[in-house]
Amino acid sequence: MRATESKVPGVHVFTPRLLTDERGAFFESLRTDEIERVVGHPFDVRQINYSVSRRNTLRGIHSVTIPPGQAKYVSCVRGALRDFVVDLRVGSPTFGAYDSNVLDADSGRAVYVPEGVGHGFLTLTDDATICYVLSSTYVPGTQIDIDPLDPDLALPWGFTEPPLISPKDRAAPSLAATLEAGVLSPWTAGG
């Protein structure tokens, strides 16, 4: 696997080495030892989630309060999507900054999202399926939702028609309102 750090500190994009022949392809999708080597701390898997979405579905921006915190390793196992991370760590030199990558089933590319960083995506194909490998289990009441269309974030989603958005995401507060509510985690050295 090749790892590159994104514009948001602590976020890494992992691109596997594809082994191809006339039958198709093989690659290692997840190696926690490689993640730990790159990020400098353990990545203990506690839960795996999938979401399946129609083309032009927008999900996010989502994070989890600390505690309990939740790091994510996200990949697209069917179809394609435009993936976004947003730095939500108060005091971070890149607070409010974002990075984006196209994730698709063919490349096997995945993104490691550390605790305190928000995540969202726009599906580019029908039946797009994303896999979330999570460092903690779901704890009700700890979710942080940010308006994915917050004009202050101005994320370049790239949709050409209004996207499908859940009522929860449509009603999510802006980054400024979430910051004012005091639920975002502080930046710590090393991400």
Q: Where are the domains of the chain?
A: 2-181
C-beta atoms surrounding 128 within 10 Å: 25
Confidence of residue 110 (pLDDT cuts 50, 70, 90): very high
Confidence of residue 189 (pLDDT cuts 50, 70, 90): low
Predicted TM-score of the model (pTM): 0.95
Query: What percent of the chain has a predicted confidence (pLDDT) above 70?
Result: 98
Confidence of residue 188 (pLDDT cuts 50, 70, 90): confident
Residue 42 tokens, joined = 């353990």
Give the residue carrying structure tokens 């730990």: 36
Query: How does pLDDT run across 23-62, given as a tens digit for each residue?
Result: 999 999 999 999 999 999 999 999 999 999 999 999 999 9
Query: What percent of the chain has a predicted confidence (pLDDT) above 90?
Result: 98
User: What integer pLDDT is reported at residue 56 of this predicted model?
Assistant: 98
Task: Specify the fold of 2-181.
Answer: Jelly Rolls (2.60.120)
CA distances to 96, 157, 160 from 137, in Å: 26, 28, 35
Residue 190: pLDDT over 90: no
DSSP character for 186?
B
Burial 76-105 (b: 16+ CB within 10 A, else e): bbebbbbbbbbbbbeebebbeebbbbebbb
Q: What is the mean pLDDT of residues 12-29?
A: 94
The single residue of 12, 50, 62, 119 carrying the catalytic annotation is 62
Of 124, 176, 123, the C-alpha closest to 146 is: 176
Q: Is 62 a catalytic residue?
A: yes
Query: How does pLDDT run across 136-186, given as a tens digit for each residue?
Result: 999 999 999 999 999 999 999 999 999 999 999 999 999 999 999 999 999
Q: Is 98 a catalytic residue?
A: no
132 Cβ contact partners less than 8 Å away, ≥ 6 residues apart: 48, 49, 50, 51, 72, 73, 74
User: What integer pLDDT is reported at residue 180 of this predicted model?
Assistant: 97
- Please provide the average confidence, as pLDDT, over all residues in the chain: 96
The single residue of 73, 112, 132, 138 carrying the catalytic annotation is 132
Confidence of residue 73 (pLDDT cuts 50, 70, 90): very high
C-beta atoms surrounding 38 within 10 Å: 15
Confidence of residue 132 (pLDDT cuts 50, 70, 90): very high
96: left (phi over 0), alpha (psi -120 to 50) or beta: left
Identify whether the C-beta of residue 101 lies closer than 8 Å to the C-beta of residue 156.
no
Confidence of residue 191 (pLDDT cuts 50, 70, 90): low
